[in-house]
Structure 1
Amino acid sequence: MSLNYPFTEIPAAAELSEVAPGVFWLRMPLPFQLDHINLWLLRDGDGWTIVDTGFPADEVQLAWKAILARLDGPVKRLIVTHFHPDHLGLASWLMAETGAELWMTSGEFLTAHAVWQEVGGHGARFMVEQFRRHGLDGEHLARFEKRGSGYRKAVPALPEYYRRVKAGDSLMIDCHTWQTIIGYGHAPEHMSLYCAELGVLISGDMLLPRISTNISVFAATPDADALRWYLDSLDVLAREIPQQTLVLPSHGLPFTGVQARVGALHAHHEERLHALENSCEHAPQSAAGLLDVLFGRALDTHQTMFAMGEAIAHLNYLEQAGRLSRSIDADGVIRYSRLQHRPAAH
């Protein structure tokens, strides 16, 4: 099985492309190597529902102003899939512009506030200590200390109230039922939306057509098995979403072929896990010492942050699966070694 891309013409800035009845695709720029995000505008009776906001930048706000001026009814609600800046960054501004109410999961809303305030194990000082324990050198650590928290810079303001969405909730949007599916590993309680009547899944960052979303372990939950959570979440999508469903991802092109993509992502991560396992064969290795194995290219400070989180996620997975053992050396650095005799499977 392979993926099919039914829409290859990307909408221009401030333009809408209808990909299903009452479902419109917007694309906004991002100031990163991943240079775009897909947003979604849903017809909602005499008004509209927005899914995700885009990154807070002048050109994005101008594009939104042009779109909002053309709408033939009010924006009734703003649904945000998760707390990352390209999804939540303009929520406060859009709420002020439209009067719409914010809908999110509690895990994402509260994590956004913890990261913004740098409390509860979230923030630069906690991340620096986490990366030190995983072997990152002093030069890189100094860059992170100097950089501080990028989240508050990327999210200028956060909403103070919201409508809570829970796993399995049904949202009625324009007489269609959209089921909420909560996924784990990329963010605490990432929300995807599935409409069986329309045959559409708004997957957010959980299922992307060409890249694997970042899976990181955060300082607040140092032993989290985030990669396993992510792969288990993918398996839920593969079981529950029909093959012909149109998947609307946050990055890349809309596609069909959920099961094929889930299988490819499993294979990709297993290949990376085997590479890490082999690299720990002859001597204990730290997460920082294994970045080249996972990524094989030079990384800037921003990329190193994601790379370290992802390396730790893969190593936690291997340790908790009984494929690596963990030790702490005299300098307090966590290192991993391959187990020569794995525990018997049960």
Structure 2
Amino acid sequence: MPDASDTLIHPHAAPPDYGEVVEIVPGILWTRISLPFRLDHVNIFLIEDGDGWTMIDTGIQSRTAQALWERLFAGPLAGLRIRRVLVTHYHPDHIGLAGWMAERWDAPLLTSLTTYLESRNLSLSPGALDSKVYWDFYRRNGLDESTTALLTTSGHFYLKMVSPLPPTFERLVAGDVLHIGGRRFDVLIGNGHAPEMLMLHCADEHLLLAADQVLAKISPNVSVHAVDPNGDPLGLFLRTLATMAATLPEDTYVLPGHQLPFRGLHVRIAELAAHHEARCALLIDACRAAPRAPADLLPVMFHRKLDPHQMGFAFSEMLAHVNYLLRTGALAWADPVDGVLRVEAR
């Protein structure tokens, strides 16, 4: 995604250092937990909640992340009690330490049903993606064996990055109202990046905890997964953005799951929609000359060299654009070659 720093307003231009916190608005603290990925951090927000605090997301399960939390609880958060742990979605950087936090503080876990079940499913059956049906899905879309092996074993990596969840949770759904301290938050649902991802909107303060639905400088990953091979996460993502643009004010202060908080929500939504429109146009042009296997379209969307971890995300995101274009009719299936699927422009 192009740098959006010239179009967005960042009231806090510098994030807190690891092991530190800042008060982003009165009664809401912001800290960051490091990640061992190219996107090297996740934002954590703590909202004052009566005689304690509600935590929004937790960071990944790792020794480094746990050590950071111990440093925070012994330092700037000393004496602070966590009353509730709210997880926005099932990705490890957001839910990874939820079970650890819930047990440590004897605090309930609040999340969506999909988030809870997705995480429990992956944790209970980390090898499920190894089955032949999922292997065949990637191979018939033209992916090589090494990348296919990486994707079909991803459940094992998930298990290492997520602590066991508590056996019960409190479900949040779209339209719920959540009172945290003196604030009223409407529960919103985002889709595309993760199914049934929670966002919290405080209308009185034009404040949005947006999770990973809208980020300041990068486009959130939108991926098709083998368990839902014909899914349309990009269509869902764009529909969520359109709903947000129609219902939330432009001066909303966005507290995102990564990078800097910002104002300029409608501008950023328009940039994200244009970004995906441009990517779709590239794929259509690439398929005009001759039918292409989906995996052969990776260089069309991603020009830099990808490591194995990035390759998995890139392939799944490319397929999200292909599925979206198949749904809209801009692409159609062509005859397969040697068992590998191909698409062509209409």
TM-score normalised by structure 1 residue count: 0.93
Relative to structure 1, is the Cα distance of residues 276 and 193 closer, same or farther in structure 2, using a 3 angstrom cutoff? same
Question: What SS does the corresponding residue of 1:206 show, helix, strand or coil?
Answer: coil
Q: Distance in 1 between matches of 2:92 and 2:136?
A: 23
Would you say 1:123 and 2:126 are equivalent positions?
Answer: no
Match of residue 236 from structure 1:
243
5 Å matches for 1:64-83?
Answer: 64-69=69-74, 70-83=77-90
Relative to structure 1, is the Cα distance of residues 205 and 228 closer, same or farther in structure 2, using a 3 angstrom cutoff? same
1:261 maps to a residue whose letter is R
Q: Distance in 1 between matches of 2:40 and 2:286?
A: 33
Q: Distance in 1 between matches of 2:329 and 2:187?
A: 34
Match of residue 338 from structure 1:
345
Relative to structure 1, is the Cα distance of residues 249 and 148 closer, same or farther in structure 2, using a 3 angstrom cutoff? closer
1:25 maps to a residue whose letter is W
Match of residue 4 from structure 1:
9
Match of 1:157 among 151, 160, 164: 164
Match of residue 98 from structure 1:
105
Contact 2:122 2:155 in 1 (8 A): no
Match of residue 36 from structure 1:
41
Partner deviation per Cα, 1:262-320 (whole Å, 9 max, x = no partner) = 00001100000000000001111122101101111211111111111111100011111
Contact 2:129 2:153 in 1 (8 A): no
Q: Distance in 2 between matches of 1:286 and 1:31?
A: 32
Relative to structure 1, is the Cα distance of residues 281 and 328 closer, same or farther in structure 2, using a 3 angstrom cutoff? same
CA RMSD across the alignment: 1.9
Partner deviation per Cα, 1:100-121 (whole Å, 9 max, x = no partner) = 10000001110111222338x9
Contact 1:123 1:149 in 2 (8 A): no
Would you say 1:201 and 2:208 are equivalent positions?
Answer: yes
Match of residue 88 from structure 1:
95
Match of residue 25 from structure 1:
30
Q: Distance in 2 between matches of 1:318 and 1:199?
A: 35
Q: Distance in 1 between matches of 2:241 and 2:130?
A: 30
Give how far 1:148 is off.
Answer: 6.3
1:26 maps to a residue whose letter is T
5 Å matches for 1:117-266?
Answer: 117-118=124-125, 123-125=129-131, 127-144=134-151, 149-266=156-273
Q: Distance in 1 between matches of 2:38 and 2:186?
A: 32
Partner deviation per Cα, 1:207-248 (whole Å, 9 max, x = no partner) = 001000010111111111110100110111112221111101
Q: Distance in 2 between matches of 1:122 and 1:145?
A: 8
Question: What SS does the corresponding residue of 1:123 show, helix, strand or coil?
Answer: helix
Question: What SS does the corresponding residue of 1:215 show, helix, strand or coil?
Answer: coil
2:61 maps to a residue whose letter is P
Contact 1:115 1:123 in 2 (8 A): no
* Structure 2 unpaired stretches of 5+: 1-5
Give how far 1:73 is off.
Answer: 4.4
* Structure 1 unpaired stretches of 5+: 340-346
Match of residue 321 from structure 1:
328
Q: Distance in 2 between matches of 1:305 and 1:292?
A: 13
Question: What SS does the corresponding residue of 2:262 show, helix, strand or coil?
Answer: coil
Contact 1:135 1:333 in 2 (8 A): yes
Give how far 1:147 is off.
Answer: 6.7
Aligned length: 338
Q: Distance in 1 between matches of 2:17 and 2:11?
A: 17
